[in-house]
Amino acid sequence: MRYDLQPVGSRRSLLRFLLGSPLLLAARPMASTQELLEVVAQCEPDLSPVGELITSPKEAINVFDFQAVAKQALSPGHYAYLATGVDHERGLHANRAGFGRFALRPRRLVDVTGLDTTTKVLGTKLSCPIALAPAGMQTAFHPDGEVAVARAAKTTDQLQILSTGSGKSLDEVINARGESVWYMVATPRLWPVTRLQLLHAEEAGCPVAVLTIDYVGFGSQDRLRRLRGPGDPFRIRENKECRSCHGASEISQIGRILTAFGHDPLEVASDLFTLDWDYVDRIRDTTSMKLVLKGILTHEDASLAVEHGVDGLIISNHGARQMDNSISTIEILPEIVSAVDGRIPVMIDSGFRRGTDVFTALALGASAVCIGRPYLWGLAAFGQAGVEGALTIIRREFETVMRHMGTRDVASITADFVQST
């Protein structure tokens, strides 16, 4: 595989020039040098090839290999939908930079043969603490969409959380998965609509409802909006292609229901999708499923969630797709784990790309990690086989880190193995 390192070399040439400049005559020359290094590091490209791309999932070295193929395979509009953050996209960088705030403390001479990665969250047994985060409109990335992902989840034995905005029906996905999935509810504050969503998931046998609480209107996805036409937020200039993958989703159906109720989906989104704790209580008291809140970002809200009888949390900033300039989820994790104090499980997503990322989150108190973009890159690149490839890589990396850290099982991954830098 050939990698084109020219952009990196150019930046490093610039760095050498700047390091020879009067910048180093500052009052704190070493600090200035370090700050400059950090800035340049943020500009380094992902470890994905820009020359010859992989032609098979088996050739992938890391999940970024799938990203490179996905970028080439998808139309500009669909790749923008997958890749973008909001505003200046500082949140995208923050989610990755946050892992640099923590260092791992490996223990040596520990027998790590017979590694056990299994764990259990809310009664669901996981083969490893890595789950598939909910992501809408997956048919935009591959015709089989969520069904291909479900088949990959079955093969790799991973927990799948299905988005309300799925391009495939819940029944199709469960049939492909071979067992129930967790179901994400993104609902307007219209009780008949919410109740229908809950009933559908209950009847399908879903054990857990994941209520997304940070969906309060469309984020300012500038790069994506440049590809859109006026009006409909899902109407991209590649209309013919987009109608086939976006039109069947439940989010689109909700839009049609809002229209039937006499509401303009765009004008009322920020009002009708703004839930409150009373609505959470109503959902909790109505459904037989366990209730998880996705989108918690402060210890104050985590404490309130426990008070309101919520069964679990997913710390999430929506992959930096809703609001810019928020702190990374990995940095928020310790304060939320402290607030919850073991009373309910805490899961986390946004920015996870490596096995070390997963281990760090578990050491900081997370029960499991949800990944999003990596498996979507795999889906766009090679369909089901690509999803399996991306999951296999992250899981293999996680197991390697467990061995290096001297942890035989998930329960042995504790705060003793991580420190702030």
- Lowest mean pLDDT across 11-15, 172-176, 178-182, 183-187: 11-15
Domain C-terminal end among 45, 63, 79: 45
Joined together, the tokens standing for residue 43 give 């500009």
In a domain, 216, yes or no: yes
Model confidence at 32: pLDDT above 90: no
Please report how many Cα atoms fall inside a 13 Å half-sphere around the Cα of residue 197, on the Cβ side: 29
234-243, long-range: CB < 8 A, 24+ apart = 236/77, 236/81, 237/77, 238/75, 238/76, 238/77, 238/78, 241/75, 241/77, 241/78, 242/77, 242/78, 242/140
| Stretch among 4-8, 232-236, 286-290 having the lowest mean pLDDT | 4-8
In a domain, 70, yes or no: no
The residue-averaged pLDDT of 372-397 equals 98
pLDDT at 41 (0 to 100): 43
Q: Does residue 257 lie in a domain region?
A: yes
For residue 74, give every residue at least 6 positions away whose Cβ sits within 8 Å of its Cβ, in sequence order, or none: 82, 140, 141, 380
Least confident of 64-73, 76-85, 100-109, 188-197: 76-85
- Looking at the domain assignment, is residue 293 inside a domain? yes
Give me the helices (H) in 204-341, please.
Answer: 222-225, 239-246, 250-260, 265-272, 277-286, 299-307, 329-340
Query: What are the Cα distances from residue 354, in Å, to 42, 150, 295, 318, 359?
Result: 17, 22, 22, 18, 9
Does residue 314 share a domain with residue 180? yes
Phi-psi region of 406 (alpha: psi -120 to 50; beta: other; left: phi over 0): left
Cβ pair 236, 229 in contact under 8 A:
yes
Task: Judge if 31 and 126 occupy the same domain.
Answer: no
| φ/ψ of residue 370, rounded to 5 | -105, 130
Same domain, 17 and 146: no
- Count the neighbouring beta carbons within 10 Å of the beta carbon of residue 113: 6
> What is the reported pLDDT for 306?
98
Model pTM score: 0.83
Tokens of 248: 């069947």
* Domain shared by 40 and 147, yes or no: no
Kindly indicate the confidence band of residue 126, based on its pLDDT and cuts at 50, 70 and 90. Answer: very high
Residue 273: pLDDT band (50, 70, 90) is confident
Rounded to whole angstroms, the Cα distance separating 292 from 407 reads 28
* Whether residues 272 and 196 fall in one domain: yes
| Residue 107 sits in the same domain as residue 13 | no
Residue 177 counted as domain residue? yes
Average pLDDT across the chain, whole number = 84
Distance between CA atoms of 224 and 232, rounded to whole angstroms?
Answer: 13
Per-residue pLDDT at 274 = 84
Whether residue 170 lies inside any domain: the answer is yes
Write out the residue range of the structural domain in which residue 166 sits: 102-420
How many domains is the chain built from? 2
Residues 180 and 308 in one domain: yes
Residue 129 shares a structural domain with residue 11: no
Question: 3-state DSSP call for residue 129?
Answer: coil
Of residues 321 and 309, more confidently modeled: 309
Query: What is the distance between the alpha carbons of residues 397 and 411, in angstroms, rounded to a whole number?
Result: 18
Residues 36 and 109 in one domain: no
CATH code: domain of residue 170: 3.20.20.70
Residues 126 and 34 in one domain: no
CA 389 – CA 400 distance, rounded (Å): 16
E strand or H helix at 37, and its extent?
A: helix 29-43
DSSP string, 60-105: -SSTHHHHHHHHHHS-HHHHHHHH--STT-HHHHHHHHGGGGEEE-
Assess whether 214 and 327 both reside in one domain.
yes
CA pair distance 13, 40, nearest whole angstrom: 11
Does 92 map to a domain? no
Q: Residue 130, exposed/middle/buried by CB under 10 A (0-12, 13-18, 19+)?
A: buried
Same domain, 144 and 243: yes
Query: Has residue 61 been placed in a domain?
Result: no
Is the separation of the CB atoms in 314 and 210 below 8 Å?
yes
With a cut of 60, say whether residue 14 has pLDDT above it.
no
Q: Is 299 a catalytic residue?
A: no
Q: Output the CA torsion sign for 345, 350, 351, 354.
A: positive
Q: Which of 78, 142, 246, 318 is catalytic?
A: 318
d(CA 293, CA 310): 7
